[in-house]
Structure 1
Amino acid sequence: MIWKLKKFNELSGEEVYKLLRLRSEVFVVEQQCIYLDPDGKDFKAYHLYLEDDGEIVACTRIFPKGIAYSEASIGRVIVKKDYRGRDLAKDMLVRAMEYLEVVLKEKVIKIQAQAYLFDFYRGFGFEPVSEEYLEDGIPHIDMICKK
């Protein structure tokens, strides 16, 4: 398995397709949430993903401040169903946070977390900054980590 980090314009058409397919599999089909995933922000994101034998099995988007929020952010955190339980999400989040902190020199990271993952993100230093709210029919909470 190989981790890759690319800007949108560095992704091949096949990689874009695989990323969007995985996001659709999890957010639209598995979570039964009807929403438009391609939100225009992919063009400005860094895409961190894990490939296993040519298949993308985990991915997330990384944003410098001023794109998704006034703070830097991480979003669309996904691990393919068959690959869960291997700490891939933890590994991915550590890599994304390190990239923001070390390479982009960001000190504050904001996420829009699905509420059931509150404790997971809290384990990385994220603290709530909003009440729970519905986004596309799924409970979410905004959280911030300051370094």
Structure 2
Amino acid sequence: MSSKLIGKWNSFDNLSARDVHDLLKLRQDVFMLEQDCLFPEIDGKDPETEHFFMRDTETGALAGAIRLFSASDKEIRIGRVVVAQTHRGLGLGRDLMLAGMDRARQLAPAADIHLSAQAHLEKFYKSLGFSKISEVYLEDDIPHIDMVATPGGTQ
């Protein structure tokens, strides 16, 4: 992790108004504008999740974020992994995923960790110990696959 970035977990209810604004703006900029994908970004699920933010300590900018659903002691889901264009190429996606996986193991050590990945990122997620468990499908006109990391898997 870059020395100028700091990460922090929060429940949705503990996010500041600035945090919520920055999160929704970042996800809008990346998922809707950059990826040219019109979909309901505010999906009503954020209040049910924990959020991990990585902020640039020099500028205060939100560099990346991830959300974690603790569905049960058998399944946890990671979603909305997003990295600001200004902070790409620094390994931040890996840092976010490792933070999410570590938090999932803290919450439910025996749980499978699920995610819906953009298909072109399959190799990246495999490098973190995830395995493909579905065929490619379209989600908001973007090819996706379902993946899972099981307890004791490699990272």
- TM-score, normalised to structure 1, is 0.94
Which consecutive aligned stretches of 4+ in structure 1 deviate over 4 angstroms post-superposition?
Answer: none
Which segments of 5 or more consecutive residues in structure 1 lack a partner in the other structure? none
What is the percentage of aligned positions where both structures have the same residue? 39
Is it true that 1:145 corresponds to 2:153 in the alignment? no
Task: Check if 1:102 corresponds to 2:118.
Answer: no
Partner of 1:133: 137
Q: 1:38 aligns with which of 42, 47, 58?
A: 42
Alignment pair present for 1:61 and 2:67: yes
Give the CA deviation at 1:103: 3.5
Residue-by-residue CA offset, 1:7-29 (whole Å, 9 max, x unaligned): 00000111101000000000000
Q: For residues 28-53 of structure 1, what are the alpha-carbon distances to aligned partners after superposition, in whole Å with 9 as ceiling and x for unaligned?
A: 00000000111111001100010112
- CA-CA distance at 1:106 after TM superposition: 4.6
Worse overlay, 104-113 or 29-38: 104-113
Q: Which residue of 2 aligns with 1:87?
A: 91
TM-score by length of 2: 0.89
Structure 2 gap ranges (5+)? none
